[in-house]
A and B are shown apart, each in its own frame.
Chain A
Amino acid sequence: MDDIPPYPPIDPTTFDLIVIGTGLPESIIAAAASTASKSVLHLDPNPFYGSHFSSLPLADLPSFLFSHSTSSSPPPSASSDEHHHFSFLDLSTRPLYSSIGISSFSTDLDQYSRKFNLDVAGPRVFFCADKSIELILNNGANQYMEFKSIDATFVGDNKGNLLNVPDSRASIFKDKSLGLMEKNLLMRFFKLVQGHLAGEEDLKISDEDLLSPFVDFLNKMGLPHKIKSFILYAIAMADYDQEDTGVCGDLLKTKDGIDRLALYNASIGRFQNASGALLYPIYGQGELSQAFCRRAAVKGCIYVLRMPVTALLVDKDTGCYKGVKLASGQDIFSQKLILDPTFKVTLPTGSSPSPPLQAKLPFFSPKDDRGKIVRGICITKTSLKPDMSNFLVVYPPRSLFPEQVTSIRLLQIASNLAVCPPGMFVLYISALCNDDDQGKKLVHAVINTFLTVPPPINSESNAAVQSETVESGCVVQDGTAESPGEGKPTLLWSALYSQELTLGQVDFICSTPMPDGKLNYDNLIDATVKLFKEIYPEAEFFPQTSSENHEDDGDGDVSPET
Chain B
Amino acid sequence: MHGRPRKAPKPEDEAAATAKAQKLRALQTQFFSFHHSKIYTKDAVELSAKLLEINPESYTAWNYRKLAVEHYLSQPDCNPDSVKSVLNDELGVVESALRQNFKSYGAWHHRKWVLSKGHSSIDHELRLLDKFQKADSRNFHAWNYRRFVSELMNRSEKDELKYTEDMIYTNFSNYSAWHNRSVLLSALLEKKAEGFLSKENVLPEEYEFIHQAIFTDPDDQSGWFYHLWLLDQTVTIDYPLLVSTWPAHGSDVFLVGDRCQIGSSSPFTTLFSDSGSFPIVLYFNQPVEGVSSSTVSIECGFNKSKDLLWEPLSVSNSQTAQVWVAHLKFPTSELDSSVEVSVGHTKEIVSRRGFQYNHPSTFSFKVHVQPVERDSSQVSVAENILWREENFNVYGEQAEESIPIVSFDRLCIKNGHESAASNWRIEALAKEIECFRELLLLMDCKIGKLTLARLLTAYDAMLFPFANKLVHSEEVLELYNDLMKLDPTHHRYYKDEYSSVLLQKMTSSKESLLQHCFRYKDSVSSAIGNTICLRLNNLSLSRTRALEKLLWVQMLDLSHNELQSIEGLEAMQLLSCLNLGNNKLRSLTALEPLRKLKSLRVLDISYNQIGDHSIDTTRYLCCSPLSHSVGRELNKDETVINDVTLNYWEAFYVFRDLNLYQLDIVGNTIADEKFKPVLVKIMPTLKRLDGELLD
A and B: interacting chains: yes
Instruction: Determine if B442 is an interface residue (Cβ-Cβ < 8 Å).
Output: yes
**A184 to B217, alpha carbons, bound, how many Å?**
7
Instruction: Determine if A218 is an interface residue (Cβ-Cβ < 8 Å).
Output: no
Instruction: Determine if B215 is an interface residue (Cβ-Cβ < 8 Å).
Output: yes
**Interface-forming stretch among B169-177, B253-261, B464-472, B656-664?**
B169-177
Does the CB pair A180–B215 fall under 8 Å?
A: yes
Does the CB pair B169–A185 fall under 8 Å?
A: no
Give the one of A173, A174, A181, A185 with max B CB within 10 A: A173
User: Which residue of chain B has the shortest Cβ distance to A172 in the bound complex?
Assistant: B216
Please provide the chain B residues from 206 to 225 with a CB less than 8 Å away from any CB of chain A in the complex: 211-213, 215-218
Instruction: Determine if B438 is an interface residue (Cβ-Cβ < 8 Å).
Output: yes
Checking A174, A181, A183 against B169 with a beta-carbon cut-off of 8 angstroms, the contacting residue is A174
Does the CB pair B211–A180 fall under 8 Å?
A: yes
**A174 to B213, alpha carbons, bound, how many Å?**
9
Task: Give the size of the chain A interface in residues (CB under 8 angstroms).
Answer: 12
Does the CB pair A183–B438 fall under 8 Å?
A: no
Please provide the chain B residues from 177 to 202 with a CB less than 8 Å away from any CB of chain A in the complex: none
Known: A173-B169, A173-B172. Contact between A180 and B438, CB under 8 A?
Answer: yes
Known: A180-B435, A184-B442. Contact between A170 and B171, CB under 8 A?
Answer: yes
**A188 to B217, alpha carbons, bound, how many Å?**
8
User: Which residue of chain B has the shortest Cβ distance to A180 in the bound complex?
Assistant: B215
Task: Give the size of the chain B interface in residues (CB under 8 angstroms).
Answer: 16
**A184 to B435, alpha carbons, bound, how many Å?**
12
B169 partner residues in chain A, CB cutoff 8 A: 170, 173-174
Instruction: Determine if A227 is an interface residue (Cβ-Cβ < 8 Å).
Output: no
A172 partner residues in chain B, CB cutoff 8 A: 216
**A276 to B213, alpha carbons, bound, how many Å?**
20
Instruction: Determine if B8 is an interface residue (Cβ-Cβ < 8 Å).
Output: no
Instruction: Determine if A187 is an interface residue (Cβ-Cβ < 8 Å).
Output: yes
Instruction: Determine if B443 is an interface residue (Cβ-Cβ < 8 Å).
Output: yes
Does the CB pair A181–B216 fall under 8 Å?
A: no
A187 partner residues in chain B, CB cutoff 8 A: 215-217
Residue-by-residue, is A428-471 near B (CB-CB < 8 Å gives 1, otherwise 0)? 00000000000000000000000000000000000000000000
A181 partner residues in chain B, CB cutoff 8 A: 215, 438, 442
Please provide the chain A residues from 75 to 129 with a CB less than 8 Å away from any CB of chain B in the complex: none
**A172 to B211, alpha carbons, bound, how many Å?**
12
**A187 to B173, alpha carbons, bound, how many Å?**
14
**A174 to B211, alpha carbons, bound, how many Å?**
11
B217 partner residues in chain A, CB cutoff 8 A: 169, 173, 187
User: Which residue of chain A has the shortest Cβ distance to B208 in the bound complex?
Assistant: A180
For the complex formed, measure the closest distance between the CB of A220 and the CB atoms of chain B, giving whole angstroms: 16
**A180 to B438, alpha carbons, bound, how many Å?**
9
**A183 to B212, alpha carbons, bound, how many Å?**
8
Does the CB pair A184–B170 fall under 8 Å?
A: no
B218 partner residues in chain A, CB cutoff 8 A: 184
B442 partner residues in chain A, CB cutoff 8 A: 181, 184-185
Instruction: Determine if B678 is an interface residue (Cβ-Cβ < 8 Å).
Output: no
User: Which residue of chain A has the shortest Cβ distance to B169 in the bound complex?
Assistant: A174
Does the CB pair A170–B211 fall under 8 Å?
A: no
Checking B170, B171, B212, B443 against A180 with a beta-carbon cut-off of 8 angstroms, the contacting residue is B212
Please provide the chain A residues from 177 to 210 with a CB less than 8 Å away from any CB of chain B in the complex: 180-181, 183-185, 187-188
Instruction: Determine if B566 is an interface residue (Cβ-Cβ < 8 Å).
Output: no
B172 partner residues in chain A, CB cutoff 8 A: 169-170, 173
Please provide the chain B residues from 154 to 171 with a CB less than 8 Å away from any CB of chain A in the complex: 169-171
**A460 to B218, alpha carbons, bound, how many Å?**
58
For the complex formed, measure the closest distance between the CB of B434 and the CB atoms of chain A, giving whole angstroms: 11
A184 partner residues in chain B, CB cutoff 8 A: 215-216, 218, 439, 442-443
For the complex formed, measure the closest distance between the CB of B72 and the CB atoms of chain A, giving whole angstroms: 42
For the complex formed, measure the closest distance between the CB of B87 and the CB atoms of chain A, giving whole angstroms: 34
For the complex formed, measure the closest distance between the CB of B168 and the CB atoms of chain A, giving whole angstroms: 8
**A346 to B212, alpha carbons, bound, how many Å?**
65
Give the one of A174, A180, A181 with max B CB within 10 A: A180
Does the CB pair B438–A169 fall under 8 Å?
A: no
For the complex formed, measure the closest distance between the CB of A166 and the CB atoms of chain B, giving whole angstroms: 9
Does the CB pair A173–B213 fall under 8 Å?
A: yes
B170 partner residues in chain A, CB cutoff 8 A: 170
Please provide the chain A residues from 153 to 185 with a CB less than 8 Å away from any CB of chain B in the complex: 169-170, 172-174, 180-181, 183-185
**A187 to B215, alpha carbons, bound, how many Å?**
9
A180 partner residues in chain B, CB cutoff 8 A: 211-212, 215, 435, 438-439
**A172 to B215, alpha carbons, bound, how many Å?**
10
B171 partner residues in chain A, CB cutoff 8 A: 170
Does the CB pair A173–B438 fall under 8 Å?
A: no
For the complex formed, measure the closest distance between the CB of A178 and the CB atoms of chain B, giving whole angstroms: 9
User: Which residue of chain B has the shortest Cβ distance to A182 in the bound complex?
Assistant: B215
For the complex formed, measure the closest distance between the CB of B445 and the CB atoms of chain A, giving whole angstroms: 10
For the complex formed, measure the closest distance between the CB of B426 and the CB atoms of chain A, giving whole angstroms: 21
Does the CB pair A169–B216 fall under 8 Å?
A: yes
**A183 to B218, alpha carbons, bound, how many Å?**
11
A183 partner residues in chain B, CB cutoff 8 A: 212, 215-216
**A187 to B213, alpha carbons, bound, how many Å?**
11
**A281 to B671, alpha carbons, bound, how many Å?**
84
**A181 to B171, alpha carbons, bound, how many Å?**
20
Does the CB pair B443–A188 fall under 8 Å?
A: yes
Does the CB pair A173–B212 fall under 8 Å?
A: yes
For the complex formed, measure the closest distance between the CB of A107 and the CB atoms of chain B, giving whole angstroms: 44
Checking B216, B435, B443 against A173 with a beta-carbon cut-off of 8 angstroms, the contacting residue is B216
**A172 to B216, alpha carbons, bound, how many Å?**
7
For the complex formed, measure the closest distance between the CB of B204 and the CB atoms of chain A, giving whole angstroms: 15
For the complex formed, measure the closest distance between the CB of A479 and the CB atoms of chain B, giving whole angstroms: 43
A174 partner residues in chain B, CB cutoff 8 A: 169, 212
Residue-by-residue, is B429-469 near A (CB-CB < 8 Å gives 1, otherwise 0)? 00000010011001100000000000000000000000000
Please provide the chain A residues from 119 to 148 with a CB less than 8 Å away from any CB of chain B in the complex: none
**A266 to B494, alpha carbons, bound, how many Å?**
41
**A226 to B212, alpha carbons, bound, how many Å?**
18
B212 partner residues in chain A, CB cutoff 8 A: 173-174, 180, 183
**A173 to B178, alpha carbons, bound, how many Å?**
14
**A184 to B436, alpha carbons, bound, how many Å?**
12
Give the one of B169, B215, B218, B442 with max A CB within 10 A: B215
**A553 to B443, alpha carbons, bound, how many Å?**
45
B216 partner residues in chain A, CB cutoff 8 A: 169, 172-173, 183-184, 187
Could you list some 24 contacts between A and B, CB below 8 A?
A169-B216, A169-B217, A170-B171, A170-B172, A173-B212, A173-B216, A174-B169, A174-B212, A180-B212, A180-B215, A180-B435, A180-B438, A180-B439, A181-B438, A181-B442, A183-B216, A184-B218, A184-B442, A184-B443, A185-B442, A187-B215, A187-B216, A187-B217, A188-B443
Q: Which 6 A-B pairs have the closest CB atoms?
A: A180-B215, A184-B215, A183-B216, A173-B216, A173-B172, A183-B215
Q: A173-B169, A188-B443 are in contact. List 9 more A-B contacts (CB 8 A).
A: A173-B172, A173-B212, A183-B215, A183-B216, A184-B218, A184-B439, A184-B442, A184-B443, A187-B216
